[in-house]
Amino acid sequence: MAERSASHFVLIPSYNPGAAVYATVRGARSFWDPVWVVVDGSTDGTAEGLKKLAEEDPGVRVVVLPKNAGKGSAVLHGIRLAAAEGYTHALTMDSDGQHPAASIPEFMERSRAEPGAVVLGVPVFDSSAPMLRVKGRKVSNWWANMETVGLGIEDSLYGFRVYPIADLVAVMHGQPWMRRFDFDPEAAVRLVWRGLKPVNIRAPVKYLKPEEGGVSHFNYYRDNALLTWMHARLLLEFIVRLPFLLRRKYRR
């Protein structure tokens, strides 16, 4: 098992992922310590299974929320608890087995080298990736780059990334957004607005088939409507921020 870190931890928000979550947690633990799982109101019995896993492994902590509130809410709950214990950075990864545990050390080392940056995963797709998802993300990525005047977000939707905790709490505090499917892209945009440098690292992504234990909560119409509303909100703020963003870009 990996040496325990006092500053960086892995955070896995989890909602009804099925049995795939156990392999995800074990995979993360083989490369990092500690690993926290925030169970976001799951009803599939995985909360109980994860608690048993944590009893066997002191490098795993499980936090169970009473009802589902969304990925962003689960992440915010976890990083606030971690900040109170002295952690400064969180690597987020999905619970369903899509994200590469083997890439955790590379992302963490880059974050340690540049602690003031947000380290963003850039997905490398294989044949398991649904073409609708691959092509559809290009729209959100285009908007994110427009809203940040091309300051360096290569992919706005891939949730495998390392956040400086204090900065993420700051951009989420006091506003109701970034709590569900809008969390990943809005976090990337707002952190760049805040002045953080985006560092992009390629990482594979795997879409598990149902027979492999794959579970997806993506709803094409609901979640795309949420992204459309998110970019409409960000666009209004972008207009106000544009002079400052352009000044920053040309200084760079």
Please tell me the least confidently modeled range out of 53-57, 74-78, 197-201, 209-213.
209-213
Note down the domain range covering 163.
Answer: 8-251
- In this prediction, residue 127 has a pLDDT band, given cuts at 50, 70 and 90, of confident
**Res 23: pLDDT:** 96
96 domain-assigned: yes
**Long-range contacts (CB closer than 8 Å, 24 or more residues apart) made by 241-250:** 241/193, 242/149, 245/148, 245/149, 245/151, 245/193, 246/149, 248/151, 248/195, 249/149, 249/150, 249/151
3 domain-assigned: no
CATH assignment of the domain containing 68: 3.90.550.10
213 domain-assigned: yes
**Res 235: pLDDT:** 96
What's the CA gap between 173 and 193, in Å, rounded? 15
146 domain-assigned: yes
Please tell me the least confidently modeled range out of 172-176, 183-187, 211-215.
211-215
Closest CA to 133 of 224, 200, 40, 22: 224
235 domain-assigned: yes
- Is pTM beyond 0.75? Reply is yes
2 domain-assigned: no
What's the CA gap between 202 and 220, in Å, rounded? 25
201 domain-assigned: yes
How many domains does one find in the chain?
1
**Percentage of residues of the chain with pLDDT beyond 90:** 81
**Res 211: pLDDT:** 54
148 domain-assigned: yes
